[in-house]
Structure 1
């Protein structure tokens, strides 16, 4: 065997050994790379799960903080309302039929303006100039320890007679009365049904105008029955009443707190 052949043989063996070794190392490297990839994938999943937990914790913390702020704001609002409530007046508003006559008719006699109606009447179009007057007396009392300011709201129709104007200032235990009147004729009966019911509203405030209540008095004034060609007038109501007490409508409005909230 020549030297060159020997060298070639040795080279071939070494090449084969190197290839085998390279294959072994490549297999190990590939296996190691797969393990590393799997480990990296697991780490990514763990990190994603941890991030999601962190996000949920942050959301829960924000929600809890928002709930705490709302509860604190509500508690502060309730405390402010309680302080205002402690200073609000309590006003009693009553309505009674006018005296001496609840229902009157304009008199045609010289020297007389109105006369009481004490019997049934029947009107036709020919009686268009005949006028009636309904009178109601309102009584406002402040039984509380705090000064009250009372303002008249909507009465719908009729006229109010206030001796000192409004708002009406009522000190503790003070009372005031005023009269409401409405003049009605057959033309009014034919054009509106509002005269059958009076809804009188009052706004009650404290002296500082921190809050107000709305009180409504609903009165039946059904003296008149429109029967088409005729209008029947009765001196007594179908459901007579001697007194009506005003009732609060809606809830108390805290004007000062609302203005601060709006600002």
Structure 2
């Protein structure tokens, strides 16, 4: 039986040795930071157009305007980090070296989670600080109510959406199929259903919608739950996807 630290080292080597996988994390950072900086600059220069008519201006949310696109790269990273071995057939080699399938997948999840959490924290805090610097007199600070929680929420959101994607890929055993399911779901189906009155109440409990509640600094009227409940709902989706991936790997041939 392979020692778990050795499995972690092996999985870390796999992640950093695939150039395309590394670049998805770089892209997530650049897109989230860059778009947030652009929108923050525009908001500062044209504040009358950005200021809400009812309620306070959300300087934190403005800085995180790019997270909707940055999360695409996190989805791709989660899919590729699991799916690359299936597409290349190297998963059979990994299972020959580590027959304990649950242990192997736990090592993959642990490495993916640790890497993405580190990148997400760096992305969230740098995006926030740069955005506030560009917002000038309209900025906020980490000491203001709920702001620090929202920044950590942004990092948690990026991390969990990546792990959720990894779990779905582990269930499907195919990265092309996983992308074909996840990208339309997160960026087409979920937003559309959230706007349809008859199914809106169901769509509000989808993982992406729940996760986005974690970024809120101010409570919004008409919302069924707040940031903490959103975190718990998204966490439940993420754990279910990870557990589903482990169950499929144990019961199905690689």
Q: TM-score category by the smaller chain?
A: under 0.3
Q: Which has the higher strand share?
A: 1
TM-score, with length taken from structure 1: 0.27
Query: Which is bigger in relative contact order (C-alpha 8 A, separation at least 6)?
Result: 2
